[in-house]
Structures are given as C-alpha cells and as structure tokens.
C-alpha cells in the first residue's frame, strides 16, 4: 500500500485533477487571493497557474515527496515565489498570524483530522485573513448520500484516505472559521456520489 500511495497515486491524481472542469474551478477559487498565502494539500502544484499576481508568496504544505517533484516545472514557471514549507496540514510550521490567506482544494476529504487543519489555518491567518476552498463532500440528496456511505470504505482504500461523505461546512465552522460565501453544486462529468461540491471563502470568527 505504501508503494501505491507514494509512487502511483500522486501520478494518477496529477492527471485526474487537471481536467477542463477542475481548471475552471481552480481559477475561480484562486482569483481573489492576495499577499502571503498558505496552501495545504499543494499536491503537484495544479493551482500555481491560477494564482493572481496579487499573491506575493505561496507556502506549500504537502506530504508527498513525489507530488512536489512532479510540481517542479510548475514551480519554476510560476510568477509567484513558492516555498515548500511543511508536510502536515494538521500541524503547520508557521508563526501565529503570519499569513494573509489560505488555500485548500480537494484536500479536507483526506486529512485524518480536518478540524485540526482548519484550527491551524485559523491560527496562522492574520486578522482579516481568509480561507479559499473547494471540496467534495456529503450530498443533500438522500439517495446520493446512501451511495456515498456505501462506497466510502472502498474510496478510502483506492484514494488514500479520501472520504466521500464529510460535511465540509460543519468541519470549517468547527475549526473556528465563519463561511462568508458558499456555492454548492454537482461537478459536471462525475458520478453524483463523487461530485457534490462546496466552494467558498471563510474568515476568522
């Protein structure tokens, strides 16, 4: 399983998460970022092309060494300076109130303790700072939720800990942030149990 997680899965995700639809979503999520940004779940750097020039630095948190290696060309091409600065979103190696914003795209589904990750983001954000996010999670339709619950165990094994049925807004609020904007929808081109999405911005309470 470690071989699959460390050697195969990052390559698979680099391909699957770089579709026309995900690129459009990344562009929306990133467009209002500015200043010093912390990204948890940097992955293979797929958000880098969408960072606006108002971002002065990106501090990237990513546990996969292969993911970071795959991202090298994107890092080199980025107009925004990138610092690979941490491995665990649940324990950020940054000072209190040291970031203007945080970025999280399709990450909270896989972090073992997502509330701890949000609490850490809250700690490092400066007053007025914000979390910009898009996540998939528990759907509002009863029939879809049943399938999410049925498939969740398989999903966790195949997708290295990814959960289909997490209540993303509840997790963000439990970590101490207030959601200022939230758009919800089924992503195009995906089976419904995998497609219910939460996209928005949260700020310090």
Its pTM stands at 0.96
Provide the pLDDT for residue 205. 75
Instruction: Tell me: pLDDT of 1 over 80.
Output: no
Provide the pLDDT for residue 7. 95
Determine the Cα–Cα distance for residues 71 and 77; give it in Å rounded to an integer: 10
Q: Which CATH superfamily is domain 2-204 in?
A: Vaccinia Virus protein VP39 (3.40.50.150)
Determine the Cα–Cα distance for residues 66 and 158; give it in Å rounded to an integer: 18
Instruction: Tell me: pLDDT of 74 over 90.
Output: yes
DSSP string, 8-70: IHHHHHHHHT-SHHHHHHHHHHHTT--EEEEEE--TTSTTGGG--TTEEEEEEE-S-HHHHHH
Provide the pLDDT for residue 35. 98
């Amino acid at each position: 399983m470690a071989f699959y997680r460390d050697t195969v899965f990052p390559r698979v995700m680099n391909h699957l998460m770089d579709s026309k639809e995900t690129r459009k979503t990344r562009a929306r999520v990133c467009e209002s970022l500015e200043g010093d940004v912390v990204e948890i779940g940097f992955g293979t750097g797929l958000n880098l092309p969408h960072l606006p020039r108002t971002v002065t630095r990106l501090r990237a948190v990513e546990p996969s060494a292969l993911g970071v290696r795959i991202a090298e060309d994107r890092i080199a091409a980025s107009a925004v300076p990138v610092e690979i600065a941490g491995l665990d979103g649940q324990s950020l190696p940054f000072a209190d109130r040291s970031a203007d914003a945080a970025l999280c795209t399709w990450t909270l589904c896989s972090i073992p303790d997502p509330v701890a990750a949000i609490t850490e983001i809250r700690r490092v954000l400066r007053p007025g700072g914000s979390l910009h996010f898009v996540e998939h999670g528990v759907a509002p339709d009863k029939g879809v939720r049943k399938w999410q619950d049925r498939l969740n165990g398989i999903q966790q094994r195949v997708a290295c800990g990814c959960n289909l049925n997490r209540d993303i807004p509840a997790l963000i609020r439990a970590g101490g942030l207030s959601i200022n904007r939230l758009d919800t929808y089924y992503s195009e081109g995906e089976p419904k149990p995998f497609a219910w999405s939460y996209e928005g911005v949260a700020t310090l309470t």
